[in-house]
């Protein structure tokens, strides 16, 4: 094996390990936040104008689950065991099983869509996990790289398009846009007796539209910087740092636990560009 191939094999191993670490960390987060189907056993589902979710609802699976709540726990068990089975096969046979890989991607997509419909879990930070699961299809190094590049493109698009959407609908020039968003997001503070510093901080932001709107503009600019990734990988490490900053401040200011999307950092790290 050449030095380049050996380095790539090591890099491939690191990508897989990092993916699995993030994957199980996210599901541990789901567990401690009572977001497993077996924990909640939801008795109703939401209907939203979203094509993938509408497709899942059309299959009748959510309705069947509501009528057979005993099946919920198996949804969780299967999604946790699937990656372990794939990795076990890989280390035993030194290659991935295409059927297992494709099945995992399809099942993971279904699982997250059901979470969105039944448990009100946001789909957006889960998208990279579905895309990156395509790594388990690929025994060819070129295909493996292609999956990483596609995932990288989608991550860049998610952030850049979010910024463009804010700009095109004029949100940046609406003086109280962020105040309104915060008021809706933290409405419970307005009707409760919360004395914690974070409550006071959010209340202060709501009552300070200039400051909150400035933060909104800064966040939009941060999202816009991801456009650079479409043209060069030179700033990918900086984008990783900005990704972390975005997640931290999203948690503090919006109380949105978006940290699951940090798995995207493995598509922005230098290893990908070493094998073009």
Q: Enter the tokens of residue 74.
A: 């198996």
pLDDT in tens, 61-109: 888 888 888 889 999 999 999 998 998 898 888 889 999 999 999 999 9
Per-residue confidence (pLDDT) for residue 11, from 0 to 100: 64
Q: Which pTM value belongs to this model?
A: 0.82
Per-residue confidence (pLDDT) for residue 273, from 0 to 100: 47
pLDDT in tens, 16-32: 888 899 999 999 988 99
Per-residue confidence (pLDDT) for residue 143, from 0 to 100: 84
Per-residue confidence (pLDDT) for residue 47, from 0 to 100: 66
Other beta carbons within 10 angstroms of residue 181's beta carbon come to 17
CA atoms 119, 124, 129, 131: torsion sign: positive
Per-residue confidence (pLDDT) for residue 270, from 0 to 100: 52
- Give the C-alpha separation, 167 to 4, whole Å: 44
Q: Please enumerate in sequence order all residues whose Cβ is within 8 A of that of 3, keeping only pairs 6 or more positions apart, or say none.
A: none
CA nearest 28: which of 260, 276, 268?
Answer: 260
CA nearest 272: which of 224, 226, 240?
Answer: 240
Task: Give me the residues of the chain with pLDDT under 50, please.
Answer: 1-8, 271-276
Q: Enter the tokens of residue 245.
A: 């900053």
Angle between helices 209-224 and 141-168 (to 10 degrees): 150
CA atoms 33, 205, 116, 27: torsion sign: negative
Length of the chain: 276
Residue 50 CA: distances (Å) to CA of 53, 56, 147, 232, 256: 5, 10, 25, 33, 21
- Give the C-alpha separation, 266 to 18, whole Å: 7
- Give the C-alpha separation, 243 to 245, whole Å: 5
Residue ranges covered by each domain of the chain: 1-139, 152-275
| Residue in this structure with the two tokens 């448990």, named with its chain if needed | 119
Per-residue confidence (pLDDT) for residue 227, from 0 to 100: 94
DSSP structural state of residue 96 = -
Per-residue confidence (pLDDT) for residue 1, from 0 to 100: 44
Per-residue confidence (pLDDT) for residue 9, from 0 to 100: 53
Per-residue confidence (pLDDT) for residue 80, from 0 to 100: 94
| Residue in this structure with the two tokens 């491939």, named with its chain if needed | 12
Per-residue confidence (pLDDT) for residue 111, from 0 to 100: 93
């Amino acid at each position: 094996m050449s030095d380049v191939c050996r380095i790539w094999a090591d890099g491939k191993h690191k990508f897989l390990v990092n993916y699995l670490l993030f994957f199980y960390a996210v599901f541990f987060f789901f567990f401690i936040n009572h977001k497993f189907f077996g924990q909640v056993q939801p008795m109703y589902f939401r209907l939203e104008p979203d094509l993938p979710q509408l497709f899942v609802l059309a299959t009748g699976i959510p309705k069947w689950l509501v009528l057979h709540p005993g099946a919920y726990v198996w949804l969780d068990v299967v999604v946790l065991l699937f990656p372990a089975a794939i990795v076990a096969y890989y280390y035993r046979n030194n290659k991935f099983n295409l059927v297992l890989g494709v099945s995992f991607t399809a099942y993971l997509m279904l699982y997250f869509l059901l979470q969105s419909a039944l448990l009100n879990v946001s789909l957006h930070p889960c998208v990279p996990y579905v895309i990156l699961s395509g790594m388990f299809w690929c025994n060819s190094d070129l295909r493996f790289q292609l999956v990483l590049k596609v995932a990288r493109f989608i991550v860049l698009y998610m952030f850049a398009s979010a910024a463009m959407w804010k700009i095109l609908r004029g949100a940046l020039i609406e003086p109280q846009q962020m105040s309104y968003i915060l008021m809706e997001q933290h409405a419970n503070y307005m009707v409760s007796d919360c004395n914690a510093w974070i409550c006071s901080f959010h209340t202060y932001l709501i009552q300070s539209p200039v400051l909150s709107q400035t933060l909104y503009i800064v966040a939009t600019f941060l999202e816009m910087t991801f456009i650079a990734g479409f043209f060069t990988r030179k700033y990918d490490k900086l984008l990783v740092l900005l990704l972390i900053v975005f997640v931290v401040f999203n948690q503090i200011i919006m109380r949105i636990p978006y940290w699951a999307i940090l798995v995207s950092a493995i598509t922005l790290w230098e290893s990908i560009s070493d094998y073009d």
